[in-house]
Amino acid sequence: MEKKSKPEITKTKPINIMLQEDLIKRINAFCVEQEITIHEFVTDAIVEKLNLVYKERRKKGRM
């Protein structure tokens, strides 16, 4: 019998931010079109931005 692995549990905390209404409408429309949640969109956007910043810092360190 195959042993099932336990799913990884990630701790989360709520975050509240103020955004312009037009930006919220654009985010909502994009998420509906892509069939993703706003939570997924925001998480992906933050991770993508942090990865980009990290890459830029590494490039500057090599010069």
Q: What predicted TM-score, i.e. pTM, was given to this entire model?
A: 0.71
Interatomic CA distance for residues 59 and 17, integer angstroms: 31
Count of residues for the chain? Answer: 63
Torsion sign, CA atoms 16, 20, 28, 42: negative
pLDDT at 10: 87
The structural domains of the chain, with segments of one domain joined by +, span: 21-62
pLDDT at 61 over 90: no
14's enclosing H/E stretch is none
Question: How many other C-beta atoms lie within 10 A of the C-beta of residue 42?
Answer: 14
pLDDT at 56 over 90: no
pLDDT at 30: 98
